[in-house]
Structure formats: structure tokens, C-alpha cells
């Protein structure tokens, strides 16, 4: 059975991705900081006949990430798909020079260092997969080409850096398919009720990369199953 691990899977896009992968027959490891919400996602999968387990994980905490990797190794001898979805947006539309250093550092710690940290911790299990895949959930706000619009600068910069992490990982792990995804503006707690896209639309390309996309597709940035500029 194929296995997938999804960070930030207690709500929003991450939860939808976990549910959809379970329907496709994956054993899904649900990761989140919120134990109650993460456990509920795993229970929802189990209630529908899927296979799932909850792993507590705060991607900003190196010790917790390492412990989660050790715990996962108790459940499976390999990992086929890693989806780095967990992210925070602490800043509003204040201009770059008004942003606090604390907000900048915390955002980078979670949104950029977090996915790199998780990839490193779970790399041994990914190496045991016949066709490992990593999907980093980024944002159009992270594009250097038409990306900077002055909104949420810490968040946008963290996603620009995440795209760079993706590119470097694709070189470091040539046997894996490693890509970034812009899910678009989605109706989640982060995106708000005015967002034009549903969680199902936001999850679509992520699930496609995890399950159906060519293994040869790697080192790219995608939206709606199409490669877009970095």
C-alpha cells in the first residue's frame, strides 16, 4: 500500500488532501500541532473505510519533527509521498519596512525551514520508496515574476524561499519527484470567506502530483496542473 504524510492536515487544504488521498487508497499519516483536530481528520478517514493515523508535529520544532519521524518508522518501512502543507501567515498588508523582526523570523521558521526540516527528517523513509514524491504547498505570492504585491511580505518571502528549497531538493534527490504548488486563493481560515476557490479546487493539483503526475515531473512550480514561472 502506498503511504502519504500530510503536514497541517487538521483543517483546510491539508485536511482535504488527506481525505482525497485516502479515497485513492493511500495509508495517510495526518500531521498537525492540534491533537484534537488532527485526530478528528484521521477518524474521518477511518470512518469512510480508509487507513490513517495521527502524528503530532510542529514543523517549527526540530525535536518534535525528529520524534515524529521515529514514530512513523514504527508504522511503516517506507514513505511514498510527503506533502508539506503546514504554514502560518502572521503579517497583514503592512509594508516591508513596518514588519517586525519577530514576525519575519517566525514565519520563515515555519514556512521555509519547516518543510526543509521535515524533508530531512523523513528522507530515509522516502529513500525506501520506489517512486518518492514531495509536494511543497507554496503561493503565487512567492513568485519573483509578478509575485510581490505588497501584501503579507513575510508570508510571501517565505514562499519565495520555499520555492528555492524545492528547486534545491530536486537536485539533491534525483530519484524523487519534488515540486511546489500554488493552490490559489482558497476559502480557508487563512484565505477567508471571500476567496474564490474551494478547498477541493485548492487540493486538486496537490493530489494529482501525489498520485497521477509523471514521476519525471520534478523541480517545477505548478498551478491547476500547469507549470508556472517561479
pTM of the entire structure? 0.96
Sequence ranges of the domains in the chain? 3-227
Q: Are 27 and 49 in contact (CB under 8 A)?
A: no
pLDDT for position 92? 82
pLDDT for position 189? 85
Q: Are 185 and 197 in contact (CB under 8 A)?
A: yes
Cell of 186: 482558497
The CATH number of 3-227, from 3.40.50.300, 3.40.50.720, 3.30.70.1140, 3.20.20.150, is 3.40.50.720
Cell of 52: 490513517
Q: Quote the distance between the C-alpha of residue 84 and its chain's center.
A: 2
Residues with catalytic roles: 155
Through-space distance between the first and last CA atoms of the chain, rounded to whole angstroms: 34
Q: Which residues of the chain have pLDDT under 50?
A: none
pLDDT for position 151? 85
pLDDT for position 167? 98
pLDDT for position 148? 67
Q: Are 198 and 187 in contact (CB under 8 A)?
A: yes
pLDDT for position 147? 64
- Residue in the block written with cell 519575519: 104
Nearest Cα neighbor of 13 from 135, 153, 179, 168 is 135
Q: Are 32 and 105 in contact (CB under 8 A)?
A: no
Amino acid at each position: 500500500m502506498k503511504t502519504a504524510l500530510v503536514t497541517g492536515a487538521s483543517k483546510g487544504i491539508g485536511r482535504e488532501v488527506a481525505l482525497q488521498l485516502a479515497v485513492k487508497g493511500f495509508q495517510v499519516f495526518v500531521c498537525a500541532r492540534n491533537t484534537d483536530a488532527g485526530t478528528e481528520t484521521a477518524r474521518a478517514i477511518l470512518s469512510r473505510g480508509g487507513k490513517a493515523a495521527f502524528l503530532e508535529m510542529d514543523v517549527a520544532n526540530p525535536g518534535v519533527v525528529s520524534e515524529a519521524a521515529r514514530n512513523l518508522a514504527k508504522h511503516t518501512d517506507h514513505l511514498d509521498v510527503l506533502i508539506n502543507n503546514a504554514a502560518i501567515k502572521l503579517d497583514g498588508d503592512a509594508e516591508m519596512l513596518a514588519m517586525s523582526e519577530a514576525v519575519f523570523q517566525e514565519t520563515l521558521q515555519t514556512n521555509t525551514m519547516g518543510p526543509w526540516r521535515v524533508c530531512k527528517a523523513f528522507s530515509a523513509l522516502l529513500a525506501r520508496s520506489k517512486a518518492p514524491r514531495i509536494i511543497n504547498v507554496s503561493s503565487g505570492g512567492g513568485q519573483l515574476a509578478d509575485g510581490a504585491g505588497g501584501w503579507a511580505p513575510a508570508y510571501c518571502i517565505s514562499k519565495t524561499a520555499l520555492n528555492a528549497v524545492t528547486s534545491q531538493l530536486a537536485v539533491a534527490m534525483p530519484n524523487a519527484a519534488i515540486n511546489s504548488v500554488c493552490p490559489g486563493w482558497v476559502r480557508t481560515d487563512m484565505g477567508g470567506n471571500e476567496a474564490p476557490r474551494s478547498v477541493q479546487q485548492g487540493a486538486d493539483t496537490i493530489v494529482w502530483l501525489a498520485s497521477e503526475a509523471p514521476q519525471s515531473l520534478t523541480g517545477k512550480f505548478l498551478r491547476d496542473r500547469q507549470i508556472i514561472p517561479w
